[in-house]
Chain A
Amino acid sequence: MKTKKINSFQLYLHYVSINIRSMMQYKTSFLLTAIGQFLVSFNVFLGIFFMFQRFSHVKGFEYSEVVLCFSIILLEFSLAEMYARGFDAFPDMMKNGTFDRVLVRPRNEILQVLGSKFELTRIGRMLQAVVMFFYGITKSNVEWNVSKILTVIFMLIGGTALFTGIFLIYAALCFFTLDGLEFMNVLTDGAREYGKYPVSIYGKRMLQFTTFVVPYALVQYYPLLYILDKSTNRFYILLPLLAILFLIPCYLLWRFGIHKYTSSGS
């Protein structure tokens, strides 16, 4: 019998389709979870909305500009979360020994971990982000042109890569601690939650931290300045792509973790 070796991408798609099919066995549960995801981020939006009922601006940003910022970071996060949440379940994979099975298969282990979980329920959050995005666009008086549209696309690419990197770190740290570190929530959920405002409002030191250590500002603050005509620096268009470099140290940490890996044995 002739066996056909499918390429990694096809394999991943196959994983995704298995995941989606299994999820569709519980349609009500899927729907409710998606609605829940929508509501949770809607709460965040309401928080912004009511704060701006009271205050007209914050550190030079208006309501519509903050909504735009919030929607883009939410979109980046939900995109990353949709396919990279497999890393989130990784502590369980470690503990119950499923990861050993992954290692003996002749395929890339990241691909398999990613394929273990595909969260279509995040579509609720994404829907929220898309709605907010259009709301933000119509509210703000941004004059869209090719370079600004490109900036948004780059932001989405860079931001998704950045969040993926953080999920990867979260999983890689499990090699050393055997358990998920709650503190990492600050970098994932926290970034989503507080990324609703442009990072500059948190002060200079936070801006430096998010520029050089964990580069949120590269996919949020700087390109936003360009879109909102607060800066004409064309370098800011490409800046989000620089955030992709963040994946390199994350990947190295993961490789290092795998080398050190000893099965927990269960």
Chain B
Amino acid sequence: MKKYVSFFRLRFLMGLQYRTAALAGIVTQFAWGGMEILVFKAFYEADASAFPMSFSATASYIWMQQAFLAFFAAWMLENEIFDSIVNGNIAYELCRPLNIYHMWFSRSIANRLSRAVLRCFPILIVAAFLPKPYGLCMPKSLPHFLLFVITLLLGLMVTVSFCMLVYSLTFFTISPQGLRMLFTTSVEFFAGAVIPLPFFPETLQKIMELLPFAAMQNVALRIYSGSMSNEAMLKAIFLQLFWLFTLTAFGKKLCNIAEKRITVQGG
């Protein structure tokens, strides 16, 4: 365990070095968040009664989404991992007395966490001071806030364990491109990055909520804005745990199989 913690620490501190990149990212994310809110505002003005949650809850959802983009963005897969599989550097990693799955898992979590830590505070602070319906509102209550933090972290872990599946599958396909695209687009759509899940038609939404994608950003962002009933929250957290367990178990299995049949072509 200690090895993985230090691996995590190393990556985390490394990630914190890229401050200018983070600043550029913050500015961009502000613009995207702002535009997103303007879109929803237009729809809200068109027909407020068709809105599945209150407007300020939607705004909070969007700002939180922007602030924690690095937690859930599907396209932030690690190129280094893909490269090491494609060009054979993976051989070095296999020589170490470490479990590849755990190592990559802790490093992915660290990378995403460091990115988010650098970027989230300026976004959250400014968004909190924006005028009323457009800004980030306070969490509904203290328990809501605590649940938000827990589900946020669970969501991060589900996202990473899903990414781990993609990395493990790359052992079999060698070229990561196709998988990557399929993965990125489906996550964006089903996780609620294109439009939040409550905006989908009801039957579709019910199915989507059961999928592992809904266990990523959807739960935390909706709990924060208080647009989930207690019962729904309980169910969602249970599903998050279930998917986290299933995905990691499956990923580990896959990784083991891959490790056994791997051939490094020299070079």
B43 beta carbon closer than 8 Å to chain A = yes
Q: Which residues of A contact B24 (CB under 8 A)?
A: 181-183
For chain A residues 54-75, which have a beta carbon within 8 Å of chain B? 54-59
Majority-rule SS of A interface residues: helix
Bound Cα distance from A197 to B181, whole angstroms:
25
CB pair B35–A57 under 8 Å, yes or no, is: no
Bound Cα distance from A186 to B29, whole angstroms:
9
CB pair A206–B38 under 8 Å, yes or no, is: yes
Given the known interface contacts A29-B175, A39-B181, A186-B32, the answer about A53 and B42 at a Cβ–Cβ threshold of 8 Å is no
Given the known interface contacts A43-B194, A50-B200, A182-B21, the answer about A36 and B185 at a Cβ–Cβ threshold of 8 Å is yes
Bound Cα distance from A28 to B185, whole angstroms:
19
Q: Which residues of A contact B185 (CB under 8 A)?
A: 36, 39-40, 42-43
Q: Which residues of A contact B200 (CB under 8 A)?
A: 50, 53
Q: Which residues of B contact A182 (CB under 8 A)?
A: 21, 24-25, 27-28
Selected from B27, B46, B177, B178, the residue in CB contact (under 8 A) with A55 is: B46
Bound Cα distance from A59 to B40, whole angstroms:
12
The count of residues in chain A whose C-beta lies closer than 8 Å to any C-beta of chain B is 35
Chain B: interface size category: 20 to 34
Q: Beyond the given A39-B181, A50-B195, A59-B45, could you list 4 further A-B residue pairs with CB under 8 A, ordered by the A residue number?
A: A32-B175, A36-B181, A51-B199, A186-B32
CB pair B181–A35 under 8 Å, yes or no, is: yes
CB nearest neighbor in B for A196: B39
B189 beta carbon closer than 8 Å to chain A = yes
Interface residues as binary, A22-58 with B (CB distance below 8 Å gives 1, 0 otherwise): 0000001100110110011011101100110111111
Q: How many inter-chain residue pairs (CB < 8 Å) link A and B?
A: 95
**Closest chain A CB from B25 CB (angstroms):** 6
CB nearest neighbor in A for B198: A54
CB pair B28–A47 under 8 Å, yes or no, is: no
Q: Which residues of A contact B201 (CB under 8 A)?
A: 50, 53-54
CB pair B195–A51 under 8 Å, yes or no, is: yes
A185 beta carbon closer than 8 Å to chain B = yes
For chain A residues 190-209, which have a beta carbon within 8 Å of chain B? 190, 193-194, 197, 201-203, 206
Interface residues as binary, B131-151 with A (CB distance below 8 Å gives 1, 0 otherwise): 000000000000000000000
CB pair A202–B38 under 8 Å, yes or no, is: yes
CB pair B178–A32 under 8 Å, yes or no, is: yes
B231 beta carbon closer than 8 Å to chain A = no
Q: Which residues of B contact A42 (CB under 8 A)?
A: 185
CB pair B39–A55 under 8 Å, yes or no, is: no
Bound Cα distance from A32 to B183, whole angstroms:
13
Give 18 A-B contacts (CB < 8 Å), ordered by A residue: A29-B175, A32-B175, A32-B177, A36-B181, A36-B182, A36-B184, A40-B185, A43-B189, A46-B194, A50-B200, A50-B204, A51-B199, A58-B43, A59-B45, A181-B24, A182-B27, A202-B38, A202-B42
CB pair A202–B194 under 8 Å, yes or no, is: no
Bound Cα distance from A194 to B34, whole angstroms:
11
CB nearest neighbor in A for B40: A51
Q: Which residues of A contact B47 (CB under 8 A)?
A: 55-57
**Closest chain A CB from B228 CB (angstroms):** 19
For chain B residues 178-234, which have a beta carbon within 8 Å of chain A? 178, 180-182, 184-185, 188-189, 194-195, 199-201, 204
CB pair A197–B50 under 8 Å, yes or no, is: no
**Closest chain A CB from B36 CB (angstroms):** 8
Bound Cα distance from A183 to B24, whole angstroms:
6
Bound Cα distance from A214 to B4, whole angstroms:
49
B31 beta carbon closer than 8 Å to chain A = yes
CB pair A59–B194 under 8 Å, yes or no, is: no
CB nearest neighbor in B for A203: B38
Q: Which residues of A contact B189 (CB under 8 A)?
A: 43, 46
**Closest chain B CB from A129 CB (angstroms):** 17
Q: Which residues of B contact A181 (CB under 8 A)?
A: 24
Bound Cα distance from A55 to B45, whole angstroms:
11
Bound Cα distance from A54 to B41, whole angstroms:
14
**Closest chain A CB from B256 CB (angstroms):** 27
CB pair A51–B177 under 8 Å, yes or no, is: no
Q: Which residues of B contact A40 (CB under 8 A)?
A: 181, 184-185
